[in-house]
Structures are given as C-alpha cells and as structure tokens.
Structure 1
Amino acid sequence: MTGSAPDRIWADALLALRLFASDPHGFGGVALRAAPGPVRDAWLDRLRVALNPGAPLRRMPPGIGDEGLLGGLDLAATLSAGRPVTQTGLLAAADGGVIVVPMAERLEPGIAARLAAALDTGRAGPEGAPARFGLVLLDEGRDDEAAPTALSDRLAFRLDLDAVPPRLALADAVSPEVTEAGSEDDPVEMLCTLASAFGIASPRAPILALRAARALAEVGLPGATVTAARLVLAPRAERLPEPAPEPAQESEREETPPGENQERDEREPAPPEDVVLDAVRAAIPPRLLDLLLAGGLRRSEARAGRGGRPEAVARTGRPVGHRAGDPRRGRLDLLATLRAAAPWQTLRGGQAGRLQVRKDDLRIRKLRRRVETTTVFCVDASGSAALERLAEAKGAVEALLAEAYVRRDRVALVAFRGRGADLVLPPTRSLTRAKRGLAGLPGGGGTPLAAGLDAALSVALDVRRGGGNAVVVVLTDGRANVGRDGTGGRAKAGDEALAAARALRQAGLPALVVDTGARGGGAKPMADAMAARYLALPRLDGGAIGAAVRAIR
C-alpha cells in the first residue's frame, strides 16, 4: 500500500463512509473514534451529503428515555385532549436513515440493548413500527471507556481518526486504496479464514465483510474481498496471525502414507496468502497494533464470578432513565410519573383537569456516578532490580501518573525490598506528591515478592470498599528470595509469592505483570497464577505499559 498512514486511514474512512451511506441498515453502522473537532465534523458532513436524498440524519439526545426512543404517550397532548395520544419515537423517525449517538462510550446498557434489538429486527416501539436505520457511535477518544460490545459488534466499520490531521480532512476527497490479491474464487472461505487467523470469534464480522465485498465488487473495485477485510476485519483483530509453519523436509514427506496429505487438505482450509495477511495487518489501527504486539488482553477470570463486586446503587450522579420505586428511596421523576398515570385516568374516573396518581405510577430517577479508578503500582526495588532498571521503572510509572492526573483518577505506589513492603504513596490525585514519592524510592536488598503482593492487595481492597475500582500493576523480575516472615530461601519465597498471586486472582482484580528481567520469563508463572495480563519488557517502555494499563481498565 502507498501513502502515509494518515492518508491511508482517511482514504479508508471515506470508503467506509460510501459503503455505509449506500445501505445504512445493512451495514449496521460505524463506530467512529475521534475527538470533537474539524476531522470528525468533516466526516459527518460528508456522510450527510452521501446519504440518499430524503434519508433522515438524527442525533440522539443524551439521557433519552424509552418514550423518546421507542415512542409512547405524548403527555401534553394527552392532558389537552383528555385521551391517550401517542408520539413517534426516535428509532421509527429515523427509518431509512442514520442515528448519530454522541458519547457512545457512556451509553446506558438498557438503551444499547434497545438499539441492538432494533438493528436486528428493523422494528421498534410497542406497535412494531418500521425502524431500519444505521448508527454512528461517536467515541470521544478516552482509552478507559468504550461503546457496549453487544452494540459495536453489530456495526460493520470501526474508524479511528485521531491520527488524521485537519488539513487532510478538509482537503478534497482522496482516492481509496485497494489491494490486488490473488485468487478470489471463494470470498466466504477467505474471509472466514482471515477472521480465524486474527482471532475474531464473532460470526457477524465475516458476514459484514462479505456484504462489503459484494458492494465493492458491484462498483467494479478490484481486490474487493481483501479491501473489505481491511475495512471490517482489521479493526476487530484480537491477535496477530501465527507465522506459517516451516515446509516439511523431503524425508518427512516420504514417511507420510499416500493419500493422507490429500485427506488433510480436504479437511483443513488453506491458510490465506502472505499478501492478504500483510494487507489486512497493515490496516490495523496503530493503537490496537501496539496492544497486539504487546501480547493481547487478559482479564482476571474471577472478575465476572462470585468474587466480583456488585455495583453499588448510586445516590448521586447524572440521570440515565427512571424506574418504578419509592420517592423516599430516590429522587422523584415527575414527568415519568405523570406519563405512567395518564393512560389510566378514564378507568379511574378522575375529574376533568385533575390527575389521579397511585403508588404504582411513581417513578424515581436512575442515577449514574463516575466510578473512580485507582492504579496500584507494586514496584520491585530489590537488589535484583539493578539501579538502572529501577530508574526505568520510575520513568514508566511517571508517564502513567501524568495520564491518571488528566483523567482525575488516583494512583498508589507500593515498593518492596529488603524484608518487607512499604506503602510509599497512598491513593492520591496529586501529581507532585506522586513524583516526590518516586524520587525518594531507594533500591537494594532482597526480593520479598509475597509481601509486596499482599500490600498491593490490601490497598486495592480498601479502594474497592470505598466504592472505587482498582487496577494492580506489578513491575518485577519475579525472582523472589525473601518470605513473608523476612527469612531467606528461594523455594519458600517462590511458593508464598504464588499463593499471594492466587489471592489477587480470587479477589477478581484486573492486573498487569510487567516482567523487568533482562531475559524475561521469570515473572510469567506469577502472572499465570494471578490470571493477569503479562508484558515482558527487557527495556521498560512507558508507552507500552500505558497502553496495557488502559486496556485492562
């Protein structure tokens, strides 16, 4: 492929725009990651022009309720007419067009479920009105939040325009880049094989890619299948393809019974050509490629099980809908209460101009407050982590401290060396205080890894009991040689470190283990016991660690 990365990204974004505008409901939509500004506005303006004449383009208001989304009772008209009067919901009003969803990363799960159901059925509302629309999910660009997976999985395209400069977006349209591939005799097999090679488990991905390939072929675009794979499959990659196996030696081929190779070829599809894999891999967004090169994502298995913390009922925050309830245990939603009572006035025999409200009609607001995240760094300051390694660890932690400060999250720092562990920095938002604690962090002595993990677990549990979320990041080479009681012995210290790691796993805490050993691999058993994301960095890279921490958040 030719051209710079921003040129290619913008060209692919315009090609995805053309495909989506031709059939919004068929392609589901676009998950658009871009900060507010001229680049995002330019893309949306081009979409408005590319849509069929008369196709509606609606913007979904924040905090919309079921009545506004699906339709329902028009309260003002009902009270005026003395009889139930219904109103058309946003989904039905957008039939044949597009709905733009701002701040999709904060979308209420119930609203996301209704949008997904309408995408599946093409209908919405109590009367099943036609609602064949497409979605544009606007992601403001925060790495610790994302649109609901159940909704974004139904959208064909995922675009990341953060790397596109405004001058390019405001210039004339560029020609889309296409990839000339080999034989495209069976696009279904090629797309399914590519999806498997990149670890994409959802069956919707190759189906949407095939739909895009057919649309590209209809307009005579060469390399339609590979171009569709670049647009649809590349941004969904969960891993990088494994390298092709070495060809068998002649002696090995002679030992294989005749006909067995033919049967194996019939059972297993041939791997995609290198040119196809390279074309799709080149289209992976840089942010996602960094994570894949670092080893992918792993979450604690206990997080979704009994060890998970139930979500506390929010008493303060922004409104995200309403539910039936007692106003003494929440804030009354007056309009929702009146809407619930209005249809029953005829049966209740109410007087003209007076509304009878019963207990079952009462609605209270559902509130959501932002949950604060505390990143607990557990840093190996022992003699096995040489002084220059400790300096690199401090630099990587400082880079993450600056990001946490921007997000108004908190950080804590636990250091272990000698015979135990110390809480160098309690959870704080103060960047100055955090840097001061890092600057005074000494190094040397033994490696009491179990004590360090115990201290990090204690801090994380305190954060959780306070209603926040905690992420544990351990920087160590994994060579424990001091036990919990301060005595030496590698065997005993190693067993205790594994036991402490399993305790973190049982607590259901998302965790990252950064192996700082010169050769790597020493901290891998501990990461497995912790069910943590493992990152081997012989030379610490603050950017790679930051990307991994944002992913496990």
Structure 2
Amino acid sequence: MADSLLAAQLFTLHPMKFGGIVLRGYGPVRDRLLDLMTAQLAKQGPVLRMPINVDTEQLLGGLDLTETLSRGRAVLRPGLLARAAGGVVIVSMAERIAPDIAAHLAQAMDHREVAVILLDDGIEVDEAPPAVLRERAAFHCDLTAVRTLDFELDGQEAPWRPARAPSKHQRQALAATAAALGIHSMRPVLMAEQSARASAALAEAGMVRTEDFETAIRLVLAPRATRRPEVAEPAPPPPAEPDQPGEDSGQSEEQRQQDVSLDDLLIEAAAASIPQHILDGIDRGTLRSAGGRTGSSGQKEKSSKRGRPLGSKPGIPGDGRKLALIDTLRAAAPWQGARRAGSGSKQTLHIRKSDLRIRHYEQRRESLTIFAVDASGSSALSRLAEAKGAVELMLAQAHVKRSQVALIAFRQSGSEILLPPTRSLTRARRALGALPGGGGTPLAAGLLEALMMADASSKRGQTPTIAILTDGKANVTLAGDADRSTAMREVSEVSKRVAATGHQSIVIDISPRPREEAAQLASELGGRYLALPRAGSAAMVDAIESVGEGARA
C-alpha cells in the first residue's frame, strides 16, 4: 500500500508529467484513495468523471441541437475533453472502454491536455484497460489485496522542483533494467526517470540517488514486466593482498558502492519488486506486452438490432433498423433557415431523406469450443479426465465470455457426442459422469463429427474452435474397418476439408513423447500444434483460448 500511496502522491503533485494512473481493485479502499486524490487534484484544475457509455460527440463536442434549432444556425457545444482541459478525467470501468474513445483520450494525453485516472474493475488477469492508455499512464496500482482504510495522502503543495537530470550512465542503467524486464517501449523508461527525479525532490535531494531509481522501478517498471530479469551471479572476491606498512587496509563504503555495477543493483531491485500476480502471469505465459486478452468470446459483427451502440449512420428506418431521432435532428438543424427561405413555408421543421439516421450496433458472436478426444487405448482415461477438467473450467466462465463447450469422443469404430453444445455446468457434469474408453482409433470419424458440428454452429452465428486431443495415429476407417493406411488417408482428406472452411483448430499432443503424426495433422488442419505430454486442464484452456484470439484478429 505504501507504494500505491507514493504513486498517488507523485501523480497528484504533477498529473500532466505522469499522464495517468491505473487503480485496479473495486471496493472501499480504492474509493477512499480516489476521494483523497480528487480533493488534491481539484485545487489544480477541473476533475471530471467520464461516463462508460460516452460517445465521440460527447467526448469531443458537437452540435448543440436546442440552440441550433432556436437560432437557425449551427451552435457548437464543447465536449468533455475541452471542459477538462488542464485537469484530470476519471475513467470508470476502463477495461470496457471502446477503442475509438481510448484513441481520443490517448491523443489528449500525448498533447498534455488532460491526465487520466483509469479505474480498472477487471476480475480476470487478462481484463485490463486498453494498451494505448496503460502505456501512457505512469503508475499501475493493484489494490485488490489491500484491506485497511487507515491511510492518508500527503497534502504537500510544494512547487515542482525536480532534482537534477540523471547522468548518461544512470539513464543507460535504467534502460537496461527495462529491457531485462521485457519492456521495449521508451515511454515507461522516461516516466521512470521522471519518477526518480520526483522522488529525489520529495526527499529534498539535489540529485537522483540509487534509492530513487529503485523507487521508480517499483512504481513504474515492475508492474509492466513481461519476463523475469536474469540476475548476474556475484563474482568471487579477488584474493586479498598483504597490507603494506602505513596503509589503511579498510576499504571505504564509497569505494565498495562504486565496485558494484549500477545496472546490477537496479536489476536486482527490479527482480525483487515485481508484483506476485505479474510473476504468476509470467510463469503461465499469459502476459503480453501489447495488452490483455479478451477471453474466449467470439468474433465481432455489426448489427442493426442489438449490441453495443456504435452511434448512427445515414439510412432509412424499417426492417429492424431503428431511427436515431436526435442524430436525425442534428443533421437537419443547420439547414432549417435555408429550407424555410427556399420553400416559403412557415413549417417549424423541414426534414429531408438525406437527414435520416439509423442506429447501428456491434455485438460479439457467441463462441463454441469443440473438444474431439481420442478415447482409444490405455491412456484414454487420463485424456478424457483432462478434457473433462478443461470443459468445466471453460463453462465456469461461459456466461461472462458468451461461450459454449461441446465434447466428442472417438473410439472403437466411430465417434460419439458425449456433450452437445452447452453453457450449463450442471448438465456437463451429469453428461461427463461416466466416460467410455478403449478400443481402436477412428480419428477421421472424430474429425468429421467435429467438422459437422463446427459448420452447424457457424450457421447459427457462432465462432467455433476445434480442439483435438490425440497422438495423430489412426487405425480405423470411416467404414469401421481396421486398415491403418486407409484410415490415415481419410484423416488427411477430412483435415483438408476442415482447413478449407477456415475454422480455428489446435492439435494437443499428450502422448509421452511428441509424435510426428500429430504435428502433421495440425499442419493439414491449418491449425496450431501443441505438445503437452503432461497437459493439465488449466494449461489446455490457456492454449485453446490463445487459438480463439486468432479468430478475432
């Protein structure tokens, strides 16, 4: 909590220099910190809260409809960014902000017109504000584990007098630390330098000290880490030389500090200050330098009936298209004077066909993950158990991510749908209670069943992803005969049919040793190959969701 308070203090002292601050963790702790920050920031300039449903016109300004209609000429109205100029914008539920709104905010931050406080209410690690805003916000504070409300924000109102600029060597060490953490943008490095100078200024130091750099690393760089830094092993001390008469054998503290590389000191500090949830993400491989994942929801598509509002566009209402009345009036308002004069009519309002605007929306297609599991042979029980665990993990988030899951098992002479597409966890557990196993491997039959299910889901407007758990070897044909060569040829033919449809797919090879047949199957499917000889359910879900991202790209 001490680092979060220090970050909040530095931001409130000079918000424009630091661009923004991310406060993650919904609850009374964040509310209290936000109240304290708002009270300090209000002394410097306007502090406005941006609604979650703000549109471009509300943000940038536009036509004042009432004044335009009453005066007969265009009257402009300032937007939220103009009213907040020189101050701070508080963005609620920043993880849900639309990309176009985020881009306008980022541009205002680049020009130092506003600073932002991003309130991150995300629950999952991959739910985060847009990367363009996080990149420009110096401080990322995670308050989810903080339980105390017994804290205050230092109300120091000292003028901004940063310490002397760091030396070239110090800047190089800071950049090397950022690179060691997997940070490749220069913005965080520059922000870390500003934070170090501000920290030194708070301590009334004339120059930046090593502890100021360590503070800047904790506040700015460590929360952005995408990999663990490699800490150099300390070199063995040189053999001691015999003391000469009349010489002081004791080395001064200053000499000892000079012997230690500043790069190594800062990298060690960085390694020790990476937050635990960041380390967990690094170990799982779920962190990305360009922003968070969006889960397993399907592709975006335009709609005229439902979804997230995207504003309006010219068009004729009807056939499910709704009239955008206010936008229609805005389009017609500037022409009222000319139209009255041209028509000689005293009609209050003149509307033309070209003025009509209709609403349009964007909605995510529901996603469907189809597990096709090789239930043949001695390892069938372990494969089916892992698939069952992955199904239950995905269904636990089904309502949040608009996703369904299905399970197909292939064994003996054919395939069987054990679980039709569903998002019901109770139904899944009941259907998966007793899973069959053993027998031959009709891989082509399993692929064909998955293909038919994926085609059907696409026609229903879903985005399917096929996950195949197998070693890639087939020995049973589509006709149910034991013929290895024919079975492998049929697998190749069905795989090419799957690839032609464009369905996303992944082959998870969980045999004790990765097999060439499974890799070849993934290649023919046009999908991803992943060798997981000890695949856990969580690792399997991560791999499948990463493939689902390709469908949305």
Q: Equivalents in 1 of 2:454, 2:505: separation in Å?
A: 11
In structure 1, the gaps of 5 or more residues are 1-9, 123-130, 176-182, 248-270, 299-307
CA deviation string 1:489-544 (max 9, x = no partner): 8898789878877876776656666554456788984697455484736262x444
- Tell me which residue corresponds to 2:417: 423
Q: 1:336 aligns with which of 322, 327, 330?
A: 327
CA deviation string 1:60-92 (max 9, x = no partner): 123323331111222122333444332221011
- Tell me which residue corresponds to 2:213: 225
- Tell me which residue corresponds to 2:256: none
- Tell me which residue corresponds to 1:171: 150
Counterpart code for 1:33 = R
Q: Equivalents in 2 of 1:506, 1:194: separation in Å?
A: 46
- Tell me which residue corresponds to 1:265: none
Q: Is the 8 A contact 1:512 1:534 kept in 2?
A: yes
Query: What number of residue pairs does the alignment pair up?
Result: 492
The structure, 1 or 2, with the larger RCO (C-alpha pairs under 8 Å, 6+ apart) is: 1
Q: Is the 8 A contact 1:18 1:50 kept in 2?
A: no
Q: Equivalents in 1 of 2:432, 2:111: separation in Å?
A: 55
Q: 2:456 aligns with which of 452, 459, 462?
A: 462
Q: Given the alignment of the two structures, is residue 138 of structure 1 paired with residue 128 of structure 2, yes or no?
A: no
Q: 1:99 aligns with which of 47, 68, 89?
A: 89
CA deviation string 1:354-405 (max 9, x = no partner): 2222233222222233432323333332325253454344234323322325
Q: Equivalents in 1 of 2:505, 2:270: separation in Å?
A: 31
392-401 or 501-510, which deviates more: 501-510
Q: Equivalents in 2 of 1:18, 1:501: separation in Å?
A: 59
TM-score by length of 2: 0.74
Q: Secondary structure at the match of 1:328?
A: coil
Q: Given the alignment of the two structures, is residue 153 of structure 1 paired with residue 123 of structure 2, yes or no?
A: no
Q: Is the 8 A contact 1:101 1:137 kept in 2?
A: yes
Rate the CA distance shift 1:171–1:416 in 2: closer, same or farther, 3 A.
farther
- Tell me which residue corresponds to 1:378: 372
Counterpart code for 2:431 = G
CA deviation string 1:84-137 (max 9, x = no partner): 332221011111222222233332333222222222334xxxxxxxx3332425
- Tell me which residue corresponds to 1:409: 403
Rate the CA distance shift 1:113–1:241 in 2: closer, same or farther, 3 A.
same
Q: Is the 8 A contact 2:310 2:360 kept in 1?
A: yes
TM-score by length of 1: 0.74
Q: Is the 8 A contact 2:300 2:364 kept in 1?
A: no
CA deviation string 1:385-432 (max 9, x = no partner): 253454344234323322325655321112233344333212112222
Q: 2:534 aligns with which of 538, 545, 553?
A: 538
- Tell me which residue corresponds to 1:196: 179
Q: Which has the larger radius of gyration?
A: 2
CA deviation string 1:423-464 (max 9, x = no partner): 321211222221122223212234455654554454344333
Counterpart code for 1:374 = L
Rate the CA distance shift 1:192–1:375 in 2: closer, same or farther, 3 A.
farther
Q: Is the 8 A contact 2:371 2:468 kept in 1?
A: yes
Q: Is the 8 A contact 1:382 1:443 kept in 2?
A: yes
Q: Equivalents in 2 of 1:526, 1:85: separation in Å?
A: 65
Rate the CA distance shift 1:211–1:58 in 2: closer, same or farther, 3 A.
same
Q: Is the 8 A contact 2:223 2:274 kept in 1?
A: yes
- Tell me which residue corresponds to 2:338: 347
CA deviation string 1:160-197 (max 9, x = no partner): 433x14x33x122599xxxxxxx986343334334433
Rate the CA distance shift 1:480–1:521 in 2: closer, same or farther, 3 A.
closer
Rate the CA distance shift 1:44–1:449 in 2: closer, same or farther, 3 A.
farther
Q: Equivalents in 2 of 1:204, 1:492: separation in Å?
A: 58
Counterpart code for 1:416 = F
Q: Is the 8 A contact 1:332 1:363 kept in 2?
A: yes
Q: Secondary structure at the match of 2:303?
A: coil
Counterpart code for 1:344 = W
Q: Is the 8 A contact 1:24 1:96 kept in 2?
A: no
In structure 2, the gaps of 5 or more residues are 155-165, 204-208, 236-260, 289-297
Q: Is the 8 A contact 1:378 1:416 kept in 2?
A: yes
Q: Equivalents in 1 of 2:487, 2:265: separation in Å?
A: 50
Q: Secondary structure at the match of 2:397?
A: helix
Identity, in percent, stands at 43
Q: Equivalents in 1 of 2:500, 2:14: separation in Å?
A: 47
Q: Equivalents in 2 of 1:475, 1:132: separation in Å?
A: 51
